[in-house]
Structure 1
């Protein structure tokens, strides 16, 4: 039976509606499976260089339908503020984190090393103690921007009964290492900073005592979007592959 013009138009409209329903149903299924969405990830400096390359590959492979954005070189206090504000969804940061609205899971413990200019007298040694840095000008992350590593360095020197001779404060790890390469001082940094491989800088283990700092993943407690939870699981998996077994820590 031939349809009238009105019937043809109605049939086309019905088909379009059914197609839209199918597309919407498929979208709902993909959202429920955590395979679509957007996640913004913030990283402290050392994680930007050491963990982010492997993480971005893992996320692209596991969650190709999720749109990811990354913010590197973030200090912990800035990450906490961004998580609260919702401008990032997941953070790779360094505990302790005094914020009860976050779920924080330690990924690994990272050894501290000393970055020294190539040709410096300290570069002649195989390992260094805090006491060896007593007369050296230090380059540190900014106290004014509430850096966790600033507090770590101050505590190291206090435990050794020494006062650090701080020469420069910077906001980014890449800038810190660049200043070391320029011969402007030495710096205590997490071992993954070696991944920068900047000419003019050498790294020596910090010993007596052997000191480590934690790297953790954090997100807002109570967020249950499937794509966010799958992202956090991918971060944990990459973190476990890269270091000691992860453990949950209270906040």
Structure 2
């Protein structure tokens, strides 16, 4: 039995006429009649009662019609689902976000993915350090990682998505908070709140290098793993901090963001995946993320770094 036999039977049963069914199927009537006879012979039951004027279903034919329709519908749905999978519209993906992108890229990308890929299940992990994301890609807990390069790993593929400047986070009562832009050397005597050192945070290295280029070594008093904790400690008056510009989307009462004077050092954001990863839905998410960041840069999505964070 072939699927076409089932389709032929459905057409005859619905039309109750071999001639009209043959027209609907775009085949000649004699071959159609022969195919239905073959189907009945294979099943060993009579499905149709034929007369000169019309065709009627037997009781067995009525029940077979119900099942036949379900079979065809199931096959068609399977085809549509296979097409969706091939187009990257179905699947499950685990995404990791480095701390600063947790408050800007994560919500933006998630909203767009829900709109454009509603059948892709998302497993989101925010506030992840770059080394932890690399480990997650290797052990399979992550499929895509939005992290800070450099990452030198032959088993991973990286693509830089953007470069953003460092900005300073200050307690709102700090004397430098009234400036439109803060000279980096003016932070020489300030206690710093920092991300983790010992090469556990790429941002720490970028901040340390920027301060050295400005002529001083930052006096790090507190090291934290999470961006929200870092900004909260600054708001509490425990020091100042340098962070990627996208951290401005994290609003904490008592903390303000200011750009650095001149041409501040920058830090890259990249997306990483396993080198052999070729899932269609992963490719679709990569396309959407790149488009989203490109559109954000063109539209000036980031808020002015000189604007203080409002209460809340």
Aligned to 2:200: 146
Is the 1:139–1:180 contact (alpha carbons within 8 Å) kept by the matching residues of 2?
A: yes
Task: Please report how far the alpha carbon of residue 203 of structure 1 lies from its aligned counterpart in structure 2 after TM superposition.
Answer: 1.4
Partner residue of 1:155? 209
| Equivalent in 274, 279, 282 of residue 220 of structure 1 | 274
1:133-176 alpha-carbon deviations (Å, 9 max, x no partner): 22111111112571111111221223234222111110100110
Aligned-pair RMSD on alpha carbons?
2.1
2:164 corresponds to: 110
Instruction: State the 1:213 CA deviation.
Output: 0.9
CA distance in 1, matches of 2:125, 2:203: 19
How far residue 219 of structure 1 moved from its aligned partner, in angstroms, is: 1.4
CA contact (8 A) 1:138 1:187 kept: yes
Counterpart of 2:291?
237
Is residue 247 of structure 2 the alignment partner of residue 193 of structure 1?
Answer: yes
* Structure 1 stretch displaced more, 137-146 or 233-242: 137-146
| Greater C-alpha Rg | 2
Structure 2 partner of 1:210: 264
Q: Distance in 2 between matches of 1:39 and 1:30?
A: 15
CA shift for structure 1 position 23:
3.0
Q: Is the contact between residue 95 and residue 125 of structure 2 (CA under 8 Å) also seen in structure 1? A: yes
> In the alignment, does 2:222 pair up with 1:168?
yes
Equivalent residue for 1:63? 117
Contact 1:109-1:243 within 8 A present in 2 as well = no
Q: Tell me what 1:75 maps to.
A: 129
Q: Name the SS of the counterpart of 2:153 in structure 1.
A: coil
Higher normalized contact order (CA 8 Å, seq sep 6+, divided by chain length): 1
Per-residue displacement from partner, 1:64-104 (whole Å, max 9, x unpaired)?
11111211111111111111111111111111111122221
Aligned counterparts of 2:262 and 2:80: Cα–Cα separation in 1: 58
Residue 248 (structure 1) aligns with: none
Give 2:140's aligned residue: 86
Unaligned 5+ segments in structure 2 are: 1-48, 50-57, 299-312
Stretches of structure 1 lacking an aligned partner (at least 5 in a row) = 245-251
Please report the TM-score for the alignment, with normalisation by the length of structure 1.
Answer: 0.88
